[in-house]
């Protein structure tokens, strides 16, 4: 499978996980949280595949440790597509910056998915906070548009 096909597959699978109805039994909350964290993990794999995809033509310029974190945080590899992703990562309102924050939480001991049902006792709930599943779907939608533009740019070269 090509990196491009793998990226597409991972994005599709993340969307599928988020579309699964959690049910209405005593495990529904845990099932929803598992689907959200699973979808986020698939998003991370898709990000890895995407960076591999945009750097495959410039493989000679890619460091041996060319994982997505290294490629996005370092200026060692100079590619227009990576530079575009780096700029997105720096914009707090971008899909990539939001995804990176969630990925960091996913790797923490607390995880990223939260139980629904309101604020914990003694805390004030903040209105308008988007649930993780909705936020991920929004990020995926925006990512697919951006990936299309990245691919078009790399094909023009």
Whether 10 and 42 have beta carbons less than 8 Å apart is answered as yes
Q: Give pLDDT, residue 87.
A: 95
Q: Give pLDDT, residue 135.
A: 95
Distance CA 72, CA 1 (A): 24
Q: Give pLDDT, residue 140.
A: 97
Contacting residues for 138 by C-beta, under 8 A, at least 6 apart: 95, 130
Q: Give pLDDT, residue 63.
A: 54
Percentages helix, strand, coil for the chain, rounded to the nearest 5? 65, 0, 35
Distance CA 32, CA 111 (A): 14
How does pLDDT run across 12-32, given as a tens digit for each residue?
999 999 999 988 999 999 999
How does pLDDT run across 120-138, given as a tens digit for each residue?
444 444 444 468 999 999 9
Which pLDDT band, with edges at 50, 70 and 90, does 154 fall under? low
Q: Is the pLDDT of residue 46 over 50?
A: yes
Angle between helices 132-156 and 3-19 in degrees, nearest 10: 160
How does pLDDT run across 80-102, given as a tens digit for each residue?
889 999 999 999 999 999 999 99
How does pLDDT run across 61-86, given as a tens digit for each residue?
555 556 899 889 888 778 888 999 99
Mean pLDDT confidence for 93-117: 92
pTM, two decimal places: 0.85
């Amino acid at each position: 499978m090509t990196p491009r096909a793998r990226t597409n597959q991972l994005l599709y699978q993340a969307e599928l996980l988020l579309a699964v109805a959690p049910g209405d039994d005593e495990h529904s909350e845990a099932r929803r949280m598992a689907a959200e964290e699973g979808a986020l993990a698939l998003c991370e794999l898709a990000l890895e595949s995407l960076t591999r995809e945009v750097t495959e033509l410039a493989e000679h310029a890619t460091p041996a440790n060319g994982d997505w974190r290294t490629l996005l945080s370092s200026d060692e590899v100079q590619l227009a597509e990576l530079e575009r992703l780096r700029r997105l990562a720096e914009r707090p309102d971008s899909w990539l910056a939001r995804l990176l924050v969630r990925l960091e939480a996913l790797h923490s001991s607390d995880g990223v998915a939260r139980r629904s049902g309101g604020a914990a006792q003694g805390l004030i709930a903040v209105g308008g906070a988007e649930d993780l599943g909705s936020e991920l779907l929004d990020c995926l939608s925006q990512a697919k548009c951006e990936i299309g533009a990245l691919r078009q740019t790399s094909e023009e070269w």
